[in-house]
Amino acid sequence: MANDTKSLAGFLEVFEGRLNKMRATLKTEFAKSKSERCRTTIKRITHDARKLKKTLKQVKEEHKKTCPHCNGIL
């Protein structure tokens, strides 16, 4: 798993941009009237966004900079 997170660290900005696009798509979908909304699209996007958000949180947690003396966050 450590190799996977190291390879993901370089793509954080790309995945954050993708997450922002998903959020924008959801906003446009919810802006539609209830009868015009595509329920399957909303479910798929929310499921993917949750997984991506969780992965980004894990990678950021592993790659945050800490002080070598007190182990505090810089």
From first to last of its 74 residues, the chain has per-residue pLDDT tens of 455 656 677 788 999 999 999 999 999 999 999 999 999 999 999 999 999 999 999 888 888 777 778 877 77
Asked if residue 11 belongs to a domain, the reply is: yes
Asked if residue 18 belongs to a domain, the reply is: yes
Domain span at 11: 2-62
Q: How far apart are CA 15 and CA 55, in angstroms?
A: 10
Q: How far is CA 4 from the centre of its chain?
A: 16
Asked if residue 57 belongs to a domain, the reply is: yes
pLDDT the model gives residue 18: 95
Asked if residue 71 belongs to a domain, the reply is: no
Number of domains in the chain: 1
